Structure 1
């Protein structure tokens, strides 16, 4: 049994979708990041970087419980568990992993900054908005060019590279993007959005999410609480 500790964010959705795609049984534990649940000692034991998502597999590779944090690592773990969505040959696996790393190192951090400075920053900083919006457009272009030559990011099979990337592109409007400017990406996006596991996984914890970021939540997410020594 997989215990899932998460909330409705792009990184959370990656793992929610993957669990649904794999057909694995899992228990849900909501982590309210606006209230500071991510800093509680029990959660820090399984996610020392105080970020969601995290999982605990009660029957790990050696038969003992295993906890994992970092969404990319969790995707690789689950893919290895079920023998799907990673590729079968070494070439396929490395093709997949390079696009997962592209998402983890570029798409997530940069689109996250674009979203933050455009939507949540307490003051509008033109330099930051321009910098991260332009970087978002560059990354969308990279993905669009890739999808001009293959059906999915890692080739002609749906993999964890697609599962990792899709949730980050769902907020394209808030990132300053016009989706129709990237027709190959739009084709891929609309196809993936119709997958039953994607539809279900991207609704997980949505009802529990507080969509209003008040002063307390802002301080927890972006202020001194986030940076306190633990």
Structure 2
């Protein structure tokens, strides 16, 4: 599990990072609004922890930016504990709100509760639909315009990665990291290009002018069609 931690208090951020890494989480730490935005664009995360008051902006705007393309859980950290700020944080898409000062172990407990809930919801949502594409997570089957297509395990995993990150530009390294998670195999950048070419040939009406998997020159790829979970 990868967590984005946005906190400008270095001592607090280091303490949170140390504890979370001890729990087995992969933590990417940022201290500025601009840094968090650029990091979120480049990498895929499972959860975000956002401080509100930042030297160059605020965590609310980071949350708004994230919610344009992602439904990952978001926890706000702040010294602002009045009702107006709590309500605002939740209304714009936050999942939880923890007021400073706090015990880091309490934060860890809240993270675990949220991730358990999200994982349960993801298990219950067995089907992803996007345009003419339907992916069934129970059977690992894929249909295009109602017809089952033949797809390899790696192609299925790639489709799942893209559809779970709809609208987000994923760099090649990010895609490869996700593709090889828990797998002892090896896939290089050229092989990834071949996989994507084959997937396009199976799901696109015109693979040379794709509707679903778009190439973002110099950055990577993104799934461009809206996802419906069911």
Q: TM-score, normalised by structure 1?
A: 0.29
Looking at secondary structure, tell me which structure has more strand per residue.
2
Q: TM-score, normalised by structure 2?
A: 0.29
Higher relative contact order (CA 8 A, sep 6+): 1
